[in-house]
Structure 1
Amino acid sequence: MTRLAAGITLIALCVLAFLVYSNQGLRQERETLRSDNKRLAGQIEWQNKMQIAVASIEENRSRELTNAKNKTDDLQRDVDDGRRRLRLHASCSSAGPSGMADAAAARLTDAAQRDYFTLRTRIETANIQIAGLQDYIRDICLAQP
């Protein structure tokens, strides 16, 4: 019977050693998973902050773009209605004597006036887009995770 007890004890010790060894592996695996989970949670938090920053940049620049377009549209309406005039630096050469009393003031042609407003809108759009890209590079691309 003592041989049987010794055998059972030996088997129990082997099972216990196996359980301790496998338990140690599970602990290491658990610590690895916790570390990975913490790292991934940090990345998700960083990505969420970056999405909020991108949305903020887009909102601000879209508002600026809308305001610039409205300002140009208002100016064009005022010019069309005669409340404002476009100033230009021009010199008129006339075949007649200088200082004619009935000479008309220099003005842009209708096509040139339309082109002026188109160019003004495009320049404002380009400036705002460039500023938005600069914000994106500075606040998003160069931000450290």
Structure 2
Amino acid sequence: MLREALFLVVLCLVVWIGFDALEGQRDEARRERDSAKWEASGLREAARISGEMLAERDAIDQRNIKELTDAHTENKRLRHAVDDGTRRLRIRATCPATGSVSATAGAARVADAGRAELAADARQDYFTLRDQLAQSRQMIVGLQQYAMGVCRRSPAPLANPSPNLNK
């Protein structure tokens, strides 16, 4: 009978130790589960923010590409109008009369021939500069909008509250 009682005590002790070990494993598994849930939640939030930032970047790109296309179209329209003579490309210029013609040669002076215009071969350079200026402007505006709208919203790196994630 003593033997049976001792066997029963040893059996209870083994069962108790086994349950204690299982309880420790269960607690560790719960900690890992909670850590994984927290990490998944952080990753979902980061993905949501990244998606919003990409959408905003794409909207900025579309808006600036449209404005640049409109500027190029307007420039082409002006170029064709100047080429076919419906519009004139004028420049602001002055021709100082002092020193170039003597005051005594008043009758020999040439009359004002009208407004100064760019030479035909310089017009192409003018419109090329207009295109480049429009492109540079849109690049600068786009970068400013990107910096103000997207870069300022960049998510901060997630802190890791659970040391078990690094194991």
Give the TM-score normalised by structure 2: 0.79
- Is the aligned partner of 1:99 residue 2:102? no
- Is the aligned partner of 1:8 residue 2:18? no
Distance in 2 (alpha carbons) for counterparts of 1:144 and 1:125: 27
The structure 1 residue matched to 2:141, chosen from 121, 131, 134, is 131
2:90–2:116 CA contact under 8 A, matched in 1: no
The structure 1 residue matched to 2:81, chosen from 78, 82, 90, is 78
Distance in 1 (alpha carbons) for counterparts of 2:14 and 2:144: 71
Distance in 2 (alpha carbons) for counterparts of 1:89 and 1:43: 56
Q: Which residue of 2 aligns with 1:52?
A: 55
How far the C-alpha of 1:8 sits from its partner, in A, is 0.9
The structure 1 residue matched to 2:38, chosen from 35, 39, 43, is 35
Aligned-pair identity (%): 29
- Is the aligned partner of 1:111 residue 2:121? yes
Structure number with bigger Rg: 2
Give the paired residue count.
143
How far the C-alpha of 1:4 sits from its partner, in A, is 1.2
Q: Deviations over 1:63-110 (max 9, x none)?
A: 11100000000000001011111121234579853327xx47532112
- Is the aligned partner of 1:24 residue 2:27? yes
Letter of the 1:125 partner, please give it: Q
The structure 2 residue matched to 1:143, chosen from 143, 147, 153, is 153
Distance in 2 (alpha carbons) for counterparts of 1:11 and 1:105: 109
CA RMSD of aligned residues (A): 1.9
Distance in 1 (alpha carbons) for counterparts of 2:16 and 2:92: 102
